[in-house]
Amino acid sequence: MLEAEGQNWIHNLRIKWITLYLIRTIAISLAITILIAALGIYIFQLSAWLFAVVFPVILVISLFINPIWKTTDSDISRYINNQYPELEESADLLLKNPTELSMLQQLQRSKIETLLPSLPQPKEPVKKLYFGLAILAAGVLLSFGITKVPALKEEARAVTQQQRLNPVIKENILPEISDFSATVIPPAYTGKSTREQKQFSIKAETGAKINWKIETNVAIRKLKIIFNDKEINTLKPNSSASTGFSYTKTIDKAGFYQLELDGKKSDLYQIEVIPDLPVNIKITQPKQRTTIDIGQPQKFTLNATLNDDYGINDAFISATMASGKGEGISFTEKKLTFDTNFGNRKSISLTKQIDLKSLGMKPGDELYFFIKAMDNHGQSSRSDVYFVSIVDTTELMSLVGMTNGVNLVPEYFRSQRQIIIDTEKLLKEQSTIPADAFKNRSNNLGIDQKLLRLRYGQFLGEENETEIGGDHDDHDEHGDHKQTEEKFGDVTAIMDKYAHKHDIAEDATFFEPEMKAQLKAVLTEMWNSELRLRTYKPQEALPYEYKALRLLKDLQQKSRAYVAKTTVKTAALKPEKRLSGELDKITQPVQKMNFEQKELRNAHLKNTLALLESRKEGKKFTTEDKFLLSETEKYMIGSAADHPATYLSALTSLRKLSISNKLVVKDIDVAQLAIQKMLKLEFQKPLSQSSKPAASLYQNYFNNLNKTGK
């Protein structure tokens, strides 16, 4: 063997070792990535790009933890020394220069070189590779199982829904009934499939068709099905044996029913109806009242979320534009559609960009809109009304409406208008005047805005500049007054000595809280305007100036109020009926007096409560008592028909008490609880006072005087 063959054997083993370990690391990293991606995509609904991001990160971390590429030939030589005893711990001699070895080392090297071809390849790298591939296979299988989780969850949800629609309730069935089934056929618009149940209690969608099939173990002469103790239907047998019966009915409202076999009645069975709710509309953008100021784009984005229990058929925006003012207001209605396919989806998010200019709106116009949606059953619903207005700078700059009888701040409106006029004039002349003159005029406008802000601050108790946002420290007029002669009879001078005539900003009492809050907003806009004027940015100050003027003018008048702003829906007038003179459908008003009947009902219920309480000791009901129970049962039947889940069990207990010779306290408690719910709360009547209201006050005053005297 050549001298370099031993070294090449070790080097080739190192290359194979590193390659196998790299494949193992990639396989393990890929397995982890597949698991994380499956969890993120199918459980947490993340993007599929997660795989491309996670895999390199995990691979880099794995290689950093186990840097297999750093393995050297010396590491391999130490490994084969440990694995192969026949090399006599001399594998490192193969890596050294033969000229540097002693005679004994050269002999040992020659010996082990002859042994290398007969040595088997190490099994550890291959085992590690198989382990990595096994982890990859397990990761693929687990990820495949994770992809089935949403389907399993949907199936479990369907099973839960089925159990909710068909709850397992322990029912007492007549011994003559050998088999029973109820098939619930939901309306087509619900998209739900037909289901069959083995329970008498029914829970179905509004308008569902129920098909009962009853088999008996003996021939039945007459089988009746009774709904709400009022509607009685006799079932015809399916054959001459009179053991099979069927009946079909469409359920529109909740209630109860029972079977009667040859005069023998069953328990009461509940019928619960799942209502079809209208579309739920939620507008998330814009706000309910939006004002577009000068400099802002005259458009807005409408974002809304619609949800329905069975499916959404259509939705649109009903928009009304108002133009003009006073008696010259005109309205224009438009229908705006969404560029989407609803497809009877149960939930959908809608977005629409509404350009006010394309609708024909001008400054000063207002837009009132709401969303109207229809579900797949034809039910309609609508959202609240939302308002969007465009500020009219011309209207703001006018003096119309400034001469109202109540004029809280008349002398300052013109000042704010003048600042706006001067700012716009400065912007027009900016290109024709020197930069220093431009900055000087802008700064002067900032000073004017400051003075105006301070003057408005007086209305909020801010008497000087240092007091805005702070407290005053010096009140000489309330301390030791200077020794000055007072005019005899000068009420003002006398009040100055003892009264604090001005307010502070937080306790200003000039205005109501709502008006005071709007005045504070005016000061904020003026401050923003002043800041930009002082920093030579009049273009940026202009929107704040206009907003301050708009807020001030809004305090002075509310120009528009009309029916289009409300959500009241009124019936459309029929032109053919107007001025026809037909009065045959107009009748005299009739006032129904049901007070006595209501009082009689409450009296029966209260007497029944007292009777049931007195019979808890086991005393049997008399004939008069059973008559009272039968009257109470009539009232409870009506309540059970409207709310079977609440009153059906109580009605059953009350009937047991009426016909049974053995009283059960549990039935009495159930019936009493239901009767208490039926009785409406009576308001506490005012009681006459036993003594004069001030007597206790006089007595306390006298006692305190005695204590002081002591």
Give the tens place of pLDDT for each residue, 476-534.
444 444 444 445 555 455 545 444 444 444 544 555 677 777 788 888 889 999 899 88
Residue that wins the pLDDT comparison between 126 and 592: 126
Q: Sorting pLDDT into bands at 50, 70 and 90, what band is 209?
A: very high
- Cα(298)–Cα(362) distance, integer angstroms: 9
Domain count for the chain, please give it: 5
Q: Do both 178 and 231 map to the same domain?
A: yes
- Cα(191)–Cα(29) distance, integer angstroms: 45
Respond yes or no on whether the N-terminal peptide bond of residue 286 is cis (omega within 30° of 0).
Answer: yes
pLDDT of 459 reads 67
Q: Sorting pLDDT into bands at 50, 70 and 90, what band is 398?
A: low
Give the β-pairing of 289-292 and 312-323.
unpaired
Q: Which residues lie below 8 Å from residue 14, measured CB to CB, with a gap of 6+?
A: 71, 72, 73, 75, 76
Q: Do both 377 and 412 map to the same domain?
A: no
Output the six-digit token pair for 3. 């001298």
Q: Do both 415 and 537 map to the same domain?
A: yes
- In the listed set 222, 252, 274, which residue is the last one of a domain according to the structure? 274
For residue 468, which of 485, 450, 480, 486 has the smallest C-alpha distance? Answer: 450
Buried b (16+ CB within 10 A) or exposed e, 465-477: eebbeeeeeeeee
Q: Do both 242 and 286 map to the same domain?
A: no
Q: Do both 416 and 434 map to the same domain?
A: yes
Residue 381 belongs to domain spanning: 280-394
pLDDT of 498 reads 45
Give the tens place of pLDDT for each residue, 94-105.
777 777 777 777
- In the listed set 368, 394, 420, which residue is the last one of a domain according to the structure? 394
pLDDT of 184 reads 92
Residue that wins the pLDDT comparison between 690 and 448: 448
Q: Do both 434 and 535 map to the same domain?
A: yes
> Is position 487 within any domain?
no
Give the β-pairing of 380-382 and 366-375.
antiparallel
Mean pLDDT of 285-295: 83
Q: How far is CA 48 from CA 34, 268, 311, in A?
A: 11, 55, 29
Q: Running DSSP on this structure, what letter comes out for residue 353?
A: E
- Cα(668)–Cα(671) distance, integer angstroms: 5
- Cα(608)–Cα(106) distance, integer angstroms: 118
Cα angle: 431, vertex 436, 441; to 5 degrees: 80
> Is position 541 within any domain?
yes
Q: Running DSSP on this structure, what letter comes out for residue 40?
A: I
Mean pLDDT of 289-313: 87
CATH number at residue 252: 2.60.40.10
- Cα(187)–Cα(207) distance, integer angstroms: 6
Q: Do both 185 and 221 map to the same domain?
A: yes
Give the tens place of pLDDT for each residue, 567-580.
445 566 677 776 67
Look up the pTM and report it: 0.50
Q: Sorting pLDDT into bands at 50, 70 and 90, what band is 401?
A: very low
pLDDT of 149 reads 77
Amino acid found at 689: Q
Average pLDDT, the chain: 77
pLDDT of 114 reads 75
Q: Do both 633 and 672 map to the same domain?
A: yes
pLDDT of 466 reads 45
Q: Which residues lie below 8 Å from residue 227, measured CB to CB, with a gap of 6+?
A: 233, 249, 255, 256, 257, 271
Asked whether 295 and 543 are in contact (CB, 8 A), the reply is yes
Q: Please return the burial class of 402, using the count of CB atoms within 10 Å of its CB with bins 0-12, 13-18 and 19+.
A: middle
> Is position 709 within any domain?
no
CATH number at residue 514: 1.20.120
Give the tens place of pLDDT for each residue, 321-336.
888 765 566 778 888 8
Instruction: Assess whether pLDDT exceeds 90 at residue 125.
Output: no
Output the six-digit token pair for 244. 């099979």
Instruction: Assess whether pLDDT exceeds 70 at residue 610.
Output: yes
Highest mean pLDDT among 285-294, 411-420, 620-629: 285-294
Q: How many CB atoms lie within 10 A of CB 237?
A: 18
Q: Do both 215 and 199 map to the same domain?
A: yes
- Cα(423)–Cα(532) distance, integer angstroms: 11
Q: Do both 453 and 514 map to the same domain?
A: yes
Dmax over CA atoms of the chain, in Å, equals 138
Q: Do both 67 and 211 map to the same domain?
A: no
pLDDT of 564 reads 44
- Angle at which helix 595-614 crosses helix 665-678, to 10 degrees, equals 160
Q: Running DSSP on this structure, what letter comes out for residue 237?
A: B
For 4, the 3-state DSSP assignment is helix
- In the listed set 355, 370, 394, which residue is the last one of a domain according to the structure? 394
Q: Do both 116 and 212 map to the same domain?
A: no
Asked whether 16 and 125 are in contact (CB, 8 A), the reply is yes
Q: Which residues pair with 317 in a beta bridge?
A: 336, 371
> Is position 244 within any domain?
yes
